[in-house]
């Protein structure tokens, strides 16, 4: 099965496939016959839909349904008359069709970059990352990095983590202090690993999970680090374990930004700087991409607490 797409040049066609419910409510015709009115999305376009003679419960906004029906023209617009519908099965669609997502090709390229970073570090650090990822690798590839602030789409966590690795390495090259680059890369890969469990993205929109709301990604990530170390204490030294914990705990940089401790090593400072810069850079890039041709200033950007000059 596939997402339903309708032909742009035809108002009258038989259609079937999966669509996302954006709005749903019951109504009554002039003849007092019940119907269900919905707005349905295929991830790109939205279509008004009707199911006549409908007496059942109103389906939930955000549900993905399989429909069979016919399009026609109403008031110079295309509408969908539904003959029958049901909740879509998970194997009938890809969630990335309905959520903002990186392309399959982009995610594949990022996976290769991640493997390259892991191949470049010492075996003990590489094995520790693999221990944490052994049951969560696919989730790490798919998870968003946020609900709305930055990289808020499928593949966002992977993209952000790779960018933080690159920025961390660049900053380490400029440091006057000797940097443990293997540990820095390990921390850069794992700094947001708790976001695997912080968000729900099996149906639109992206939402924080109960675990994310109660603990947040830093605590979740620390728990994952702790479990991996306690189950495999031979993989890294206790000193590296404590240092990695500190990097994860302090990567937001300030207590008021959500970290329980401020950075106290050069590796932790670099990680925080790289992480923050990537998020800020993303917001500036979004503002530049969203501007109109004659726009000089962006809208107020919540994550930055200001407007930015986009001329």
pLDDT at 87 over 60: yes
Compute the mean pLDDT over every residue in the chain, rounded to the nearest whole number.
93
Q: Mean per-residue pLDDT for 151-170? A: 97
Section 282-303 average pLDDT: 92
Q: Per residue in 241-257, pLDDT tens?
A: 999 999 999 999 999 99
pLDDT tens digits for range 212-240: 999 999 999 999 999 999 999 899 999 99
pLDDT of residue 145: 97
**pLDDT above 60 for 1:** no
pLDDT at 171: 98
- Could you tell me which CATH class the domain 13-92 is placed in? mainly beta
- As a whole-number percent, the residues of the chain with pLDDT over 90 amount to 79
Q: Where are the domains of the chain?
A: 13-92, 99-290
CATH node for 99-290: 1.10.3210
Q: Mean pLDDT, to the nearest integer, of 40-67?
A: 92
Q: Do domains 13-92 and 99-290 have the same CATH topology?
A: no
**Residue 282, pLDDT score:** 95
pLDDT score of 280 more than 60: yes
Least confident of 53-67, 156-170, 177-191: 53-67
Confidence class of residue 277 from pLDDT cuts 50, 70 and 90?
very high
pTM > 0.85: yes or no = no
Predicted pLDDT at 8: 59
Q: What does the pLDDT average to over 143-168?
A: 95
Separation in Å, CA 9 to CA 22, 41, 44, 250: 24, 18, 16, 55
Given this model, what pLDDT does residue 148 score? 84
> Cβ(4)–Cβ(17) under 8 Å?
yes
């Amino acid at each position: 099965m596939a997402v339903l797409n309708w032909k742009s040049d035809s108002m009258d066609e038989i259609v079937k496939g999966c669509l996302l419910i954006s709005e749903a409510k019951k109504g009554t015709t002039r003849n007092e016959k019940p119907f269900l009115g919905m707005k349905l999305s295929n991830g790109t376009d939205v279509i008004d839909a009707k199911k006549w003679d409908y007496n059942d419960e109103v389906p939930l906004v955000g549900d993905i349904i399989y429909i069979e029906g016919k399009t026609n023209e109403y008031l110079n617009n295309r509408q969908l008359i539904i003959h029958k519908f049901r909740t879509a099965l998970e194997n009938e669609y890809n969630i990335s069709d309905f959520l903002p997502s990186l392309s399959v090709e982009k995610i594949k390229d990022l996976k290769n970059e991640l493997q390259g970073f892991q191949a470049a570090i010492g075996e003990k650090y590489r094995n520790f990352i693999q221990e944490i990822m052994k049951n969560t690798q696919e989730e790490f590839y798919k998870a968003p990095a946020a609900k709305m602030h930055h990289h808020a789409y499928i593949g966002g966590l992977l993209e952000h983590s790779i960018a933080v690795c690159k920025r961390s390495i660049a900053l380490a090259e400029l440091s006057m202090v000797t940097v443990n680059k293997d540990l820095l890369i390990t921390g850069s890969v794992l700094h947001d690993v708790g976001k695997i469990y912080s968000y729900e993205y099996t149906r639109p929109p992206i939402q924080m999970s109960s675990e994310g709301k109660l603990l947040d990604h830093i605590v979740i990530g620390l728990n994952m680090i702790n479990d991996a170390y306690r189950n495999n204490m031979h993989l890294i030294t206790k000193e590296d374990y404590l240092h990695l914990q500190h990097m994860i705990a302090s990567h937001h940089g300030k207590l008021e930004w959500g970290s329980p401790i401020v950075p106290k090593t050069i590796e932790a400072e670099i990680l925080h700087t790289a992480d923050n810069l990537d998020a800020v850079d993303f917001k500036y890039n979004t503002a530049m991409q969203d501007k109109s041709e004659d726009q000089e200033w962006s809208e107020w950007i919540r994550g930055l607490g200001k407007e930015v000059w986009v001329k």
